[in-house]
Amino acid sequence: MILIDDPDDPRVAPFRLNERGLANRAQRRDDGGDDGLFMAEGDLVVERALAAGCVPVLVLVDAQRPPAIAQRLAEFGPVFAGGDRLRAAVTKLGMPYTVVALFRRPARTAVDRLAARSNRLVLAEAIDNPVNIGSIVRNALALGWDGLIVDSTSGDPLARRAMRVSMGNSLHLPHARTDDLPGLVGELAAAGVVVCALTPAHDAIPLDEITPAPRMAVLVGCERAGLSAAAMAAATHRVSIPMHDGVDSLNVAAATAIACWQFRRR
């Protein structure tokens, strides 16, 4: 380990980069990977990044209590170490993790390939909050779903907060990005995939009245505006989650979890 005592040390300056500094728009939308970075915080997330085959390029650990995984990380390059105050200043976290690492972004499955091979898909439109994206990833993987496809306006599953909330599972649930989500929904429906668009509309079919099919997709949208008319029209069914009077909707991640459980493989 290489001890540092100056939070302005240029060798750890990349940890100060914001999301756009780690990966620009083109890099976040590139399926090829190996261009741009993502941040993994905490030993569990770092372990899952390594398990997914991702390559670390910069590591910062607790100098007093270095985690066991620091030995594995040292196989890829130098590991920097500092005290709590230094790591908090560098990573901008009040309670710094014992390990934080920057990794190269991995390659991503192409939309058509992921759509063709999946029997259970979550489709996300205009969900820009990385916390919601991370929660959706964690819910979908936990309930046995195959993948996530987001549109061009949705958040990055490898964003710092999305990675943290998903506990690193963004690297283990295949995801893809499309510029034409309504078109993809139409293609899936035409191929026999039952696409259920979640909506709080009173005339939608209650969730528990839909019979799970061999191939299904759950389509969710922005909490403020809901799904676009084009995406909604392309779906097989408009579906609602029955709720008590006085509450018209759920958080999109919670709604996705309920739908994923209801339509899980039996």
What domains are defined for the chain?
Answer: 2-104 (3.30.1330.30), 111-262 (3.40.1280.10)
pLDDT at 33: 67
144: left (phi over 0), alpha (psi -120 to 50) or beta: left
Residues 38-84 have pLDDT tens digits of 999 999 999 999 999 999 999 999 999 999 999 999 999 999 999 99
Q: What is the pLDDT of residues 75-127, one digit of tens each?
A: 999 999 999 999 999 998 888 999 999 999 998 889 999 999 999 999 999 99
In whole angstroms, give the CA distance from residue 3 to residue 60: 10
**CA dist., res. 171 & res. 193, Å (int):** 25
Please give the model's pTM, rounded to 2 decimal places.
0.92
What pLDDT is attached to residue 37?
94
pLDDT tens column, 157-180: 999 999 999 999 999 999 999 999
In terms of C-beta distances under 8 Å and separation of at least 24 residues, what long-range contacts does 112-118 make, across chains too? Answer: 113/176, 114/146, 114/147, 114/149, 114/174, 114/175, 114/176, 115/149, 115/176, 115/184, 115/187, 115/188, 117/146, 118/146, 118/147, 118/174, 118/215
Q: Environment class of residue 238 by beta-carbon count within 10 Å: exposed (0-12), middle (13-18) or buried (19+)?
A: middle
